[in-house]
Structure 1
C-alpha cells in the first residue's frame, strides 16, 4: 500500500541543508527499524519548506500503531526523531503532538 504524508521544515536554509544531509545517509538503525515494520520503500520530496513522503508498505507486516510503540521504546530511534524535530515544523493542519500527517488523495488517473 502507498501512503502519502506531509510535514514542514523550519524556514532556515542552513537547517534545511543539514536535514537533507542527514537523509543522504540515514542511520543504519533507522533503516532497520523501517524495514522491520514493513516499510518497503520511502521517498521524501521537498518544495520550499513543505515535504511530502511517499511510503510503501507490506500490509501483512505494517501496523502504524505497533511501529509508533516501537519508536517510543527504542532509544536510538527516539534519538533520531528528536534530532529531526530540530529541523521539522508541523504544517498548519497538523494535530497537536503529531509530525507527519496523512494526506488525502483527491484525484487519480
Structure 2
C-alpha cells in the first residue's frame, strides 16, 4: 500500500485553561467515535497532533484513497463532524496568514535528510 504524509499547523487560543480543555478532548479515548470514524473513512491511516505553547502540528499518514477535497465535502455533510468543528473553534484560532475560516494549514517541507 502506498502512503503519503501531510503536515499541517493550527494555533490554539493562548489561554492555559482552554489549552487544557482541548488536550482533554484529544486524550486517548476521548475523541468522539463519529470523529475518529470520519477520519478513518477518509483514508487517513494515522493522525498525530503535537503542541508547543499554543502552536499545533498535525501529521497525517494517508492511503491512496485520500483526497483532501473529498474529505472536506464528507465533513461538510456530516452533522456530527460539524458539531465537533464548532466545538473546536472555541479552542482554535486561525494562523495569522490563514484565509478567513481556514484552520489547519498545510506546511511546506523545507528539509529532508
Q: TM-score range by the shorter chain?
A: over 0.9
Q: Give the alignment partner of residue 31 of structure 1, picking from 11, 33, 36.
A: 36
For structure 1, list consecutive stretches of 5 or more residues without a partner in the other structure.
Answer: none
* C-alpha RMSD of the superposition: 0.6
Mapped partners of 1:85, 1:57: distance in 2: 25
Mapped partners of 1:91, 1:50: distance in 2: 9
Aligned to 2:15: 12
Q: How does 1:1-109 map to 2 (within 5 A)?
A: 1-24=4-27, 25-59=30-64, 61-109=65-113
SS in 1 for 2:10: strand
Q: Please give the TM-score of this superposition, normalised by the length of structure 1.
A: 0.97
Q: Please give the TM-score of this superposition, normalised by the length of structure 2.
A: 0.93
User: May I ask how many residue pairs the two structures share in their alignment?
Assistant: 108
Deviation at residue 95 of structure 1 after TM alignment: 1.4
Deviation at residue 100 of structure 1 after TM alignment: 0.1
Find runs of 4+ consecutive structure 1 residues off by over 3 angstroms.
none
